[in-house]
Amino acid sequence: MPVLDLTDPDAVTRYDDFVRSHPLRSLTQDLRWGLVKDDWGQEAVYLEEGGAVVAAMTLLVRRLPGGFSVLYAPRGPLVDWDDPDMVHRLLAEAAPLVRKHRAVMTKLDPEVPFTPELDAWLRAQEGWVVKNVGAGKDDLVQPRYCMIVRLQDEDGQELSEEELLAKYDGKARNRVRTGRRKGVVVVPADTEEGLRTFHEIYSFMARRNEITTRGLPYFHRMREAFGDRMRVAHARHEDDVLAASVTVDYHGKLYYLYAGSNDLKRNLAPNQVMNHELMVWGLSRGAESYDMGGVFALDPQDGLYLFKRAFCKGDGGATEFVGEVDVVHNKTLYAVLHRLVPAVQRGRRELGGLASRLRRQRAAAREAARAQKVASPDA
C-alpha cells in the first residue's frame, strides 16, 4: 500500500517531484510544510500507474483527546478531480492511516474551482459532508474565495509590467504610481533583523485590528522549510519602514502569506506599492500567479476584500474554490466536532480581540503615567 515512507529519501524525492510539478500544487501540500506546522503530525499517500506517481495527498494529523485524531489535507489532495475512480482509490490508500490514528474524519480542501457539477458529485458521495455555499468563517478552516492575480496570459506568456498594471482597477493603479513617484521603495529584507522588523510591524497591525498572530519562531521554521523561496519585503520611505510582508514562491505560484503596516505615512500607499513590487519580482522569476490570500465572503463593506479585489479586477475578482469536504469515519464523534469546532473558533477570535484590547489599554495607561510624570516632575 503506497503510504509514503518518510524515512526513505528516494521515495520522498519522487513524491516531492510530483507534488511540486502538479498543476494544483500548493505549498501546504509540500512535505516541508510539516516543518512549519510542527505541532501537527504528518503522513502522505499516493497512487502509482505504470511506475509513476499520478496522485498524492499530504496529510496533517491533529491529535484529539482519547487517542483520536483528525486528518487534514490542506489545499489537497493533488488528483484529477474529473476522474472519480482515481479520487476514491487515493482515499482508499489512506485507510491504514485512518486506522492507525483513529481518525474521526479526513478533511479535504482542494484548490479546485467551484462548479455545480463537481459540487453535486461531492454531495452524492456517501459519508461526505460538503462545506461551501452558505458556510461561514467558523465552519471553514480556509477561506473559499481566493484573490489571485495571473502573471501570465492565456498562452502562458509572461506579462509585461504595463500589462500587469492594466489588470488593476484605476484607483489601485494610481496609488501604485503615486507611491512610487513619492519615493516608496520595496526592498528584500531576508536577514534576521529584517524578519524581526517584519514581525514587529505585523504584530502592530494585529493589535490594531484585534486579530491573532504567529510568533517569530513560526517564521523561522518557514524560512528553514522554504529557504530562498521565502521573501521578506519592506516597503520603505526615506529612513522609515512603512509596511512589511512574507511571500513564498512555491515553484511558480507566489503566496502572499503575512503582512502588516504601521501608521506612518499611510497616504503614500505602501501596501499597494509592496504588492505590486512583489508581483514584479514574480514576473522576474517566471511565476504564473500571485495569491493574495483568501476572504470568507465577497463583502463590499470589507476593506480587506476591497483592497485585494482592486488588484484582481483583470482576472474577474475572486477565484471561488469548491470548498471543504469532510470524509467521515466516526459519525458519533464527528457530530460532536461539528457542534464544538465553530464554538471554539468563535471563542478564539473573541479571546484574541479581548487580548488586543487589554494590551492597548495597558499601553495607554503606561503612556498616561509617563505623561503625568513629565507634567509633574516633583510628584
**Residue 324: active-site member:** yes
How far apart CA 346 and CA 343 sit, in angstroms, is 5
Answer whether the bond into residue 300 is a cis peptide, omega within 30°: no
Number of residues in the chain: 379
How far apart CA 217 and CA 181 sit, in angstroms, is 36
How far apart CA 260 and CA 365 sit, in angstroms, is 25
- Pairing of the two strands 41-49 and 52-63: antiparallel
**Residue 362: active-site member:** no
Are the CB atoms for 296 and 279 separated by under 8 Å? no
Q: Which of 32, 308, 321, 326 is catalytic?
A: 308
Domains and CATH numbers, the chain: 9-137+322-355 (3.40.630.30), 146-320 (3.40.630.30)
Query: For residue 148, what pLDDT is reported?
Result: 97
How far apart CA 329 and CA 211 sit, in angstroms, is 33
Q: Which of 100, 208, 214, 221 is catalytic?
A: 214
Q: Which of 30, 93, 249, 324 is catalytic?
A: 324
Pick from 313, 309, 255, 233: nearest CA to 33:
255
Q: Which of helix, strand or coil describes residue 317?
A: coil
Pick from 266, 325, 259, 270: nearest CA to 293:
259
pLDDT in tens, the chain (379 residues): 599 999 999 999 999 999 999 999 999 999 999 999 999 999 999 999 999 999 999 999 999 999 999 999 999 999 999 999 999 999 999 999 999 999 999 999 999 999 999 999 999 999 999 999 888 778 888 999 999 999 999 999 999 999 999 999 999 999 999 999 999 999 999 999 999 999 999 999 998 888 889 999 999 999 999 999 999 999 999 999 999 999 999 999 999 999 999 999 999 999 999 999 999 999 999 999 999 999 988 999 999 999 999 999 999 999 999 999 999 999 999 999 888 766 555 545 555 555 555 555 665 556 555 656 656 655 4
Query: For residue 374, what pLDDT is reported?
Result: 56
**Helix or strand holding residue 280 (H, E):** helix 270-284
Query: For residue 137, what pLDDT is reported?
Result: 79
Q: Cβ contacts of residue 331 below 8 Å, gap of 6+? A: none
Pick from 96, 11, 10: nearest CA to 59:
96
Q: Which of 89, 307, 313, 320 is catalytic?
A: 307
Q: Which residue has the cell 516632575?
A: 377
Considering just the CA atoms, what is the radius of gyration of the chain in Å? 23
**Residue 82: active-site member:** no
Residue 31 φ then ψ, to 5°: -60, -30
Are the CB atoms for 252 and 288 separated by under 8 Å? yes
C-alpha cell at 196: 524581526
Provide the residue type at 120 as one letter: A
pTM of the model: 0.88
How far apart CA 243 and CA 253 sit, in angstroms, is 22
C-alpha cell at 219: 517564521
Are the CB atoms for 255 and 248 separated by under 8 Å? yes
What DSSP character marks residue 29?
G
Angle between helices 170-181 and 303-312 (to 10 degrees): 90
**Residue 37: active-site member:** yes
Query: For residue 338, what pLDDT is reported?
Result: 83
**Residue 16: active-site member:** no
Query: For residue 64, what pLDDT is reported?
Result: 94
Query: For residue 360, what pLDDT is reported?
Result: 55
Q: Which of 32, 37, 131, 150 is catalytic?
A: 37
**Residue 308: active-site member:** yes
Answer whether the bond into residue 77 is a cis peptide, omega within 30°: yes
Query: For residue 298, what pLDDT is reported?
Result: 92
